[in-house]
Structure 1
Amino acid sequence: MREIEVSAVLPVYNDLKALRAAIPRSLDTLEVIAPGGFELIVAEDGSTDGSTEFVRECEGKDPRVRLLHSDERLGRGRALNRAFTAASGSIVCYYDVDLATDMRHLPELIDTIRDGHDIATGSRLLPESTIVRSGGREIASRGYNTLVRTILGSSLRDHQCGFKAFRRDRILSLLPSVTADHWFWDTEVLVRAQKNGYRIREFPVQWRQGEGTTVRRNDVVDMGSAILRLWWRLHVEKS
């Protein structure tokens, strides 16, 4: 049985086009930074566009690719919980399948955990970060992260960047307390980790907005509601 140090996870939902580029690019990058052994887990979440079949083909050609399929739609948070639990590596990471964060940052992400941190997270909102996205999403992102810092007491700048790594044992011990099952998972993990004294490093990344991303009024309402629900759980329910 081959030894695995790093388990990289790609959360996927109807992302066939992005997968065609992300899988070979991931394998090439991981070969360099994890020569001791790695696996690429595709957490495929109820896709209907042929993503499942494509990943299964890749899995048949390369044993380092691993399909983790769900017939039902889990949501990103639950899909990541499932993938990290099933992972074999002592370091687990995930990044968005559209590779919005430049893959040249992956070595730094993994090395941060090797150097003793519990969590590493890319940031689009540090002064040294380089980002390309629409004005609407920029305003929404900055507003959201300001609310997280103000209401939930986080010291981090960017909670939702889809580019994170964890010591597997440390993230697994935290997951039972995390209730978010979709997009808010990232924020809740980082907020709860800070409250539990985890060593977290946030570093600047180069990031570009993916195709077809827009901000709707309901998104803004959902963001505010999720923040307030977590505040209630932390301060009233004491969960």
Structure 2
Amino acid sequence: MSLETLASHDADPPRIDAPVLDVVVPVYNEEIDLEPCVRRLHAYLSAHFPYRFRITIADNASTDSTADVAKWLTEELPGVASVHLPEKGRGRALKYVWTNSDAAVLAYMDVDLSTDLGALLPLVAPLISGHSDLAIGSRLARGSRVVRGAKREFISRSYNLILRGTLSARFSDAQCGFKAIRADVAERLLPMVEDTGWFFDTELLVLAEKAGLRIHEVPVDWVDDPDSRVDIVSTAMADLKGIVRLLRALGSGRLPLGTLREQLGRNPLPVAGVPAGLTGQLLRFAAVGVASTLAYLILYAVLRTAVSPQWANLVALLVTAIANTAVNRRVTFRVRGNHGAWRHQAQGLIVFGIGLALTSGSLALLDAISTSPPKKVELAVLVLANLLATAVRFLMLRIWVFRSRRGSQTPA
């Protein structure tokens, strides 16, 4: 590992005496567990971490003697600091300390130290080297060893499945209290994170993924804390509300993820002769196209029982074309918000006209060859014509309809 490889967007060089790593321990009424936690963490870092470090105790509105314990520790142990926030919220505490820290890499861990400290150096090493932007400990990754009850295991896996289904999250464990982030990344990403509680981690990771940042996962050894005071029901409800809020924010396009991607995102590796983002767009467009074709054929077959082939084709193609443009706008070309939506639909209808000409022309040609072709032949001709129309549609959507917005999209 070399600090010289650590990516940075700051104009000013870091201070010579600044720590490389700042480990935050957020606490609320932890007067009993705080001292053994910090002493154990300090001893481990002193013996095994090869760079300058700091441990920051982030007391968010404790009402017991946690603040006094934190003060004793800062006076006795070198490299230990503490802050006291008047308001509760783990996310609020982390955001405050990370925003004001002068360390190159920022991390946090829960006060119960459920995660084995042997994973700390593997967690932060890719960030120090500049290889990754964020790092998380994962209890669900292959190689992890976890001891916890069936109830918590079920809740954790269910929550991560919900994240995959609603927010298309690809990271495996959002809730493990063992994470790190590069300071230059945090400087740009944290202002977008609104949650001040337990959903803070999830929101941070989702926004990082949407911005094209690289998230490193470390399998951990984790033993459940039987004395955990987290209210599972209220936390779950807050998480679900956070997911809904984040879905709305991403859907409205109000988050400047395109700008963040330009500043920090990792662009796809260049492939000779293949424009950037083309492969991902083709795969997404193909998936949307398959669904559109199936919907078209079903709608056509239903309408064909009541109207002529030309009218059935016209209505089925028009309905699926409007839906196809809307889905491709959002999924394939990653255009967010309502700006330009009507213009895109109007241009999409022009592209639809070309597709209509191809499919209608194929039906007319088939009718000229045979006055009453079998239904199977008619459908086969339409499928071939639709394949050609689909290829033309993709090219026109890419080079014309969504060309002006490509710079602000999120390519795969």
Question: CA separation in 1, counterparts of 2:18 and 2:240?
Answer: 43
- The SS at the match of 1:193 is helix
**Does 2:238 match 1:222?**
yes
- The SS at the match of 2:32 is helix
**Among candidates 247, 272, 276, match of residue 231 of structure 1:** 247
Describe the shift of the 1:35–1:220 C-alpha distance in structure 2 as closer, same or farther (beyond 3 A). Answer: closer
**Among candidates 123, 137, 141, match of residue 109 of structure 1:** 123
Partner of 1:152: 167
Deviations 1:117-159 (A, max 9, x none): 1111000111321111111111111111101111101111101
Give the Å deviation of 1:168: 0.7
**Does 2:59 match 1:41?**
no
Percent of matched pairs sharing the same residue: 35
Partner of 1:11: 26
**How do 1:118-197 residues align onto structure 2 when only pairs under 5 Å count?**
118-197=133-212
Letter in 1 for 2:178: F
**Among candidates 47, 62, 71, match of residue 56 of structure 1:** 71
Give the Å deviation of 1:199: 1.3
Q: Higher RCO, 1 or 2 (CA under 8 Å, sep at least 6)?
A: 1
Question: CA separation in 1, counterparts of 2:37 and 2:213?
Answer: 30
TM-score (norm 2): 0.55
Q: Does structure 2 conserve the Cα–Cα contact (< 8 Å) formed by 1:4 and 1:36?
A: yes
Question: CA separation in 1, counterparts of 2:31 and 2:116?
Answer: 19
Question: CA separation in 1, counterparts of 2:31 and 2:45?
Answer: 21
Give the Å deviation of 1:38: 1.2
Q: Does structure 2 conserve the Cα–Cα contact (< 8 Å) formed by 1:5 and 1:34?
A: no
The count of corresponding residues between Structure 1 and Structure 2 is 238
Describe the shift of the 1:181–1:150 C-alpha distance in structure 2 as closer, same or farther (beyond 3 A). Answer: same
Deviations 1:147-201 (A, max 9, x none): 1111101111101111011111101210111111100000000000011111111
Partner of 1:207: 222
Question: CA separation in 2, counterparts of 1:156 and 1:169?
Answer: 21
Mark the runs of 5 or more structure 2 residues left unpaired by the alignment.
1-15, 256-412
TM-score (norm 1): 0.93
Deviations 1:54-105 (A, max 9, x none): 11011112331101112x2230111001111221210111000100111111
Describe the shift of the 1:57–1:160 C-alpha distance in structure 2 as closer, same or farther (beyond 3 A). Answer: same
Describe the shift of the 1:164–1:217 C-alpha distance in structure 2 as closer, same or farther (beyond 3 A). Answer: closer
Mark the runs of 5 or more structure 1 residues left unpaired by the alignment.
none
Partner of 1:73: 87
